Chain A
Amino acid sequence: MKEPSDELNELLAPLREVEPTAAMRAANRRAALEPEKAMPWWRRSISVPVPVALATAAALLLAVTLALRPDDRVMRADPSTTGSSVAVAVSRQRPTTPVGSWSVQHSYLGHLQSGAPDLVHTSPLIRGSS
């Protein structure tokens, strides 16, 4: 009569005989001896000095903050133009200090006369003299 261990050994014996193929063995050696080359590029890693990593992270954070900061210029459609509306970037907040404020103007000359002082370049020198 067979012992339970013998029966188990017999059952699992085919698994014991299984070995990787020659191609698999070669791949294993390649992987172990040149681990970086064996990996796909998106799983490879490089070592970076901590200060460089910190500086890069800080620069990235700053860039993202600047990019996501609410813009102080608004895009406004010009109501006086006929046909397609022209978007005009207008400076909404005027600085309190006498600094030259500039805005991009894409409108017809007539629009300036019809009362849109926001769109006109106002230099502090001009404002001070008037």
Chain B
Amino acid sequence: MPDADTYLAELKRGTPAAVERLVGEYEGPLFRYFLAIHGDAALAGDQSADAFVELVRALPKMRGGSEKLRGFVYAIAKNIERRRWRQRPTGEHTLDAVAATACPHPSPERSAEQNESLQLALKAIQSLDPTTRNIFLLRFVEQLSINEVATTLDLAVGTVKSRIHRGRQELQTLLATSEEEA
């Protein structure tokens, strides 16, 4: 993939156009990654910005070709999440605000419904262990193939499949419980 390799080379040199492209590609996934862990939209926003700072600084030292880029981005995100205690959320962006971004002009009923289903999705994904949660995020939220998920998280394909199977059972139990409660 000469185009992807050129893109990576430009990223390593810090070319503004390439950096802009990187931000465009990963700001959504990174934001959702952090949001899925703790559900705090303000903190997820701050962490995304921090992840880009780290990425730009670390990219020149990255080893491997363009196929490793996504894995590198998520490895940085994982490190940022480990340092969460350093973050001070500004409180500017609530979950309502990010839910409204998905649908810019919702009716009050639609907004409440949207927020409720987002809360349920977050509750579901937060109930999973960290590795399974990352697999679910990449597979069912970012819609990557099982092979891409395995490469990104540096896991065996078999591990990804078994985790999906187990996680699915856990989520079905959770769904059944919440339906009973409703």
A-binding segment of B62-70, B99-107, B149-157: B99-107
Q: What residues make up the interface of A, taking CB atoms closer than 8 Å to B?
A: 4, 7-9, 11-21, 23-25, 27-33, 35, 38-39
Across the interface, A24 reaches (CB within 8 A) one of B36, B45, B141, B143, namely: B45
A19 touches B117 (CB 8 A): no
**Distance in Å from the Cβ of A77 to the closest Cβ of chain B?**
50
| 24 pairs, CB–CB < 8 Å, chain A vs chain B | A7-B172, A8-B136, A8-B171, A11-B175, A15-B121, A15-B141, A17-B103, A18-B32, A19-B98, A19-B101, A20-B45, A23-B93, A27-B45, A27-B48, A27-B49, A28-B23, A28-B48, A31-B49, A31-B53, A32-B52, A32-B56, A35-B53, A35-B56, A38-B49
Given contacts A20-B98, A21-B97, whether A4 and B172 have CB atoms under 8 Å apart is: yes
A20 touches B28 (CB 8 A): yes
A11 touches B121 (CB 8 A): yes
Chain B residue total in the interface (Cβ 8 A): 45
B141 touches A28 (CB 8 A): no
Across the interface, B31 reaches (CB within 8 A) one of A8, A17, A18, A32, namely: A18
B168 touches A4 (CB 8 A): yes
Cα separation A34 to B11 with both chains bound (whole Å):
14
Cα separation A23 to B98 with both chains bound (whole Å):
11
Cα separation A31 to B46 with both chains bound (whole Å):
10
Q: Apart from A14-B117, A20-B98, A28-B27, what are 9 other A-B pairs with CB-CB below 8 Å? A: A11-B171, A14-B99, A15-B121, A19-B98, A21-B101, A23-B92, A24-B49, A32-B53, A38-B53
B141 touches A29 (CB 8 A): no
**Distance in Å from the Cβ of B106 to the closest Cβ of chain A?**
11
Given contacts A7-B175, A19-B98, A20-B27, whether A12 and B125 have CB atoms under 8 Å apart is: yes
B114 contacts partner chain A, Cβ-Cβ < 8 Å: yes
A21 touches B45 (CB 8 A): yes
From B123, which residue of chain A is reached at the shortest CB distance? Answer: A11
